[in-house]
Structure 1
Amino acid sequence: MDGEISENLLKKAGTEEDVFEEARLKDRIWNETKKIWVVAGPAIFTRFSTFGVNVISQAFVGHIGSTELAAYALVFTVLFRFANGILLGMASALETLCGQAYGAKQYHMLGIYLQRSWIVLSLCSIFLVPVFFLTAPILKALGQDEEIAQVAGTIAIWFIPAMFSFIVSFTCQMFLQAQSKNMIIAYMAAFSLSIHVFLSWLLTVKYKFGIPGAMVSTILAYWIPNIGQLMFVMCGGCRETWKGFSTLAFKDLWPVIKLSLSSGAMLCLELWYNTVLILLTGNLKNAEVSIDALSICLNINGWEMMITLGFLAAASVRVSNELGRGSARAAKFSIAMTVMTSLAIGLVLFFFFLFFRGRLAYIFTESHKVALAVADLSPLLACSLLLNSVQPVLSGVAVGAGWQSIVAYVNIACYYFVGIPIGVVLGYVINMQVKGVWIGMLFGVFVQTVVLVIITYRTDWDKQVSVAHKSINKWFVEKIEEPNPKAQNA
């Protein structure tokens, strides 16, 4: 059976390469651009909408009281993002599996992979639950204000249902993205955002339910898109790839767990890197102005990351699809097109922020000192935006090819053995303050980007096609044919 599958895949790979070679360059560019934006466009919009849910929640909580706002910001920034990073990272294993299986036309495997990912993420979420219950004592032990820590403990418990929403949200998004059917995700995100604004106003402003009102609206904002996505998947939107629940989901879980852990490590190492930047800045002189200026820059950087994460999704889908399909040249062409598209947007933003510098700070603050500090940091912000336009795309390539464990090691070396030590030396020893810390961190990202470029460039993509096909063969489950009612009646 494995031999037959391999033979069919090799024949198909030859055909795909011939078709790719026969197409004109202009047609290839146009077709690839359409395929990239079919995934990237809805992914970017969905991420902006999700980011918007958090901004809206924080704004309405701010109207309840300053203590509640500080507690919410603390829980969301430290705890919720931590859980988000772990679950998103582990779910990205599904991008590799579903993308390659869809490219190889093993459509029935996508539903099995989806169910396996639900099992893995559910187990992970259960292990994370105690951290939410212990938030108050943990924050008190870390020296946070007792009143803020107590309120944060209450808010953290409300966030538990939101955390469990990620199980469905992340996995369904990646399942649908692999098939380029993610417009439904964007529609549901827009609908959820509008409902969230109305409910937040109704429950916190009109009826004064306080934290419970704000959190009920937030939980619904996370779960409404999930209900819509599940209905779409199970009620006919994915007839080829969803064949119903199966006990096969419990088979071969260990390889999925290993790939999920590698994916989680890869993403969390990046998220924690930015957290270290804020922690290091908090110990510098004039920390209040430094943190205010840095938070404005990181806020802008965060919005721009929503765009590049859309291209990360596009890169992972396109690469995994082409590897599964058996076309190494199409995979390489897709990588080049995705990087160039994202880099073009990054260059526009690079020159934009170099030109406007500190003037943009007045959108966020009235402090002249903070605006001057932002102007001073703007060149570094511009460089961050430029690097962010390339690095996440290459991470998406790694996800599509299944290199998560390799990138995790690269992240450890570049971020924690290069970026942070240089940042500490420049910021504290040479006394460059926040600029020194950020230059060191940027250098770590630059080294990581260079390493990923070298790895991607020197990869034998024909060999990667063979590796992808071996994985497909290894986890292949024979499709169970559905009974034909007409034949039975005859």
Structure 2
Amino acid sequence: MSKNSNGLLIMKWLVSRSWEESRLLWSLAFPVLLAEMFQFSFEFVTTAFVGHLGEVELAAVTVAENILDTFAYGLLFGMGSALNTLIGQAVGAGQLDRLGTYTQQSLILCGAITLALAPAYVFATPILRLFLHQPVDVSRAAGQYARWAIPRLFVHAMDIPLLMFFWAQSRVWTLAAISGVALAVHAMLTYIAVRQLGYGLPGAAVAGDISQWLIVAAQFTYLTGGRFPDTWKGFTMHAFNNIGAFIKLSLGSAVMICLEFWYNTSLLILVGLLKHAKHQLDIMSVW
């Protein structure tokens, strides 16, 4: 066989293997991408409806979502990302039952962080006005929205560990379907609360709370429905064992990820210091 023939066979093999690997990659990556797009679209839907209420309300939601919520979500996601490392080690060692235990440890840790962050939502108005020097009327409206959005903070504490658990086992299409349905419900509830009933910012916040809790409820139903016999054995007190080591690993993970999330937060804070800040914040909400 000639060298040209050998080269052609090798090229065909490389193309075939590349296509196969690409197909496998996209079969996992596409539903994850779809689920993330659905979840990030929640803010877009809320902003679209609140934008009809007025420039102060639009700026307030922008501040609450991109300063308070992004700060909290970045911290929780960073702490929860340590679960990826531990789950990979457990799978490699053949200790599949540890996946459930590690997930519960992450739930405990994220829940504790959420309790520590909740006062920031309660006192959002003075924090935004006195410490971050945001406009007075925007700070007041953002504080009202943030107080009604506190239930959503606890959703983040549960949603992130559950996502890590499902991602590790390639159960991604179910997550995409749950997020898609929840987004449709969110759009309907926000329309009813804001446009039909006229509940304004509290209505928009509560609509978001309900929609986000639907996601977690569906995830827990999927988790405990017997579809993970090897990795989920139910809740156990073993989750409290070695939790100090879990916290230490989570802190290291959080430092890297928080910097990425908090970039946009710092940008919004600086925009709020500009002249005609309400208009600038409104522009940032569209961007």
The TM-score range, normalised by the shorter chain, is 0.7 to 0.9
Letter in 1 for 2:81: S
Letter in 2 for 1:237: R
Gapped regions of structure 2 (runs ≥ 5): 1-12
Q: CA deviation at 1:178?
A: 0.5
Structure 2 residue 193 is the aligned partner of structure 1 residue 199: no
Q: State the partner residue of 2:3.
A: none
Structure 2 residue 98 is the aligned partner of structure 1 residue 109: yes
8 A Cα contact 2:66 2:268, kept in partner? no
Counterpart Cα distance in 2 of 1:91 and 1:274: 20
Counterpart Cα distance in 2 of 1:90 and 1:280: 26
Q: In the superposition, relative to structure 1, how do residues 136 and 250 fare at CA in structure 2: closer, same or farther (>3 Å)?
A: same
Structure 2 residue 140 is the aligned partner of structure 1 residue 154: no
Q: 2:72 aligns with which of 83, 93, 102?
A: 83
Structure 2 residue 221 is the aligned partner of structure 1 residue 241: no
Q: 1:263 aligns with which of 220, 245, 253?
A: 253
Q: In the superposition, relative to structure 1, how do residues 278 and 150 fare at CA in structure 2: closer, same or farther (>3 Å)?
A: closer
Counterpart Cα distance in 1 of 2:272 and 2:110: 34
Query: What pairs up with 1:73-472 in 2 under 5 angstroms?
Result: 73-141=62-130, 142-277=132-267, 295=284, 299=287
Letter in 2 for 1:99: G
Q: CA deviation at 1:67?
A: 1.8
Counterpart Cα distance in 1 of 2:43 and 2:264: 18
Q: Give the length in aligned residue pairs.
A: 271
Q: CA deviation at 1:26?
A: 5.1
8 A Cα contact 1:99 1:179, kept in partner? no
Q: State the partner residue of 1:488.
A: none
8 A Cα contact 1:155 1:211, kept in partner? yes
Q: In the superposition, relative to structure 1, how do residues 172 and 31 fare at CA in structure 2: closer, same or farther (>3 Å)?
A: farther
8 A Cα contact 1:46 1:186, kept in partner? yes
Counterpart Cα distance in 1 of 2:102 and 2:18: 32
Q: In the superposition, relative to structure 1, how do residues 84 and 212 fare at CA in structure 2: closer, same or farther (>3 Å)?
A: same
Q: 1:72 aligns with which of 61, 64, 75?
A: 61
Q: CA deviation at 1:148?
A: 2.0
8 A Cα contact 1:60 1:204, kept in partner? yes
Letter in 2 for 1:92: S
Counterpart Cα distance in 2 of 1:71 and 1:185: 30
Counterpart Cα distance in 1 of 2:57 and 2:165: 37
- TM-score under structure 2 length normalisation: 0.86
Q: In the superposition, relative to structure 1, how do residues 28 and 95 fare at CA in structure 2: closer, same or farther (>3 Å)?
A: farther
Counterpart Cα distance in 1 of 2:269 and 2:189: 35
8 A Cα contact 1:111 1:243, kept in partner? yes
Letter in 1 for 2:34: F
Gapped regions of structure 1 (runs ≥ 5): 1-23, 300-490
Identity between Structure 1 and Structure 2 (%): 36
Q: CA deviation at 1:30?
A: 4.1
3-state SS of 1:64 partner: coil
Q: CA deviation at 1:99?
A: 2.7
8 A Cα contact 2:74 2:262, kept in partner? no
Counterpart Cα distance in 1 of 2:273 and 2:50: 28
Letter in 1 for 2:200: G
Counterpart Cα distance in 2 of 1:281 and 1:197: 28
- TM-score under structure 1 length normalisation: 0.52
Q: In the superposition, relative to structure 1, how do residues 178 and 69 fare at CA in structure 2: closer, same or farther (>3 Å)?
A: same
Structure of greater Rg: 1
RMSD of aligned Cα (Å): 2.5
Q: CA deviation at 1:277?
A: 5.0
Q: Residues 228-272 of structure 1, C-alpha deviation per residue, up to 9 Å, x if partnerless?
A: 111111112212111111111000101111111111111111223
Letter in 1 for 2:78: G
Q: 2:25 aligns with which of 27, 31, 36?
A: 36
Counterpart Cα distance in 2 of 1:274 and 1:217: 24
Letter in 2 for 1:143: H
Counterpart Cα distance in 2 of 1:132 and 1:258: 26
8 A Cα contact 1:38 1:180, kept in partner? no
Q: State the partner residue of 1:466.
A: none
Letter in 1 for 2:239: A
8 A Cα contact 1:136 1:152, kept in partner? yes
Letter in 1 for 2:127: I
Q: In the superposition, relative to structure 1, how do residues 104 and 32 fare at CA in structure 2: closer, same or farther (>3 Å)?
A: farther
Letter in 1 for 2:72: A
Larger relative contact order (Cα-Cα within 8 Å, sequence gap ≥ 6): 2
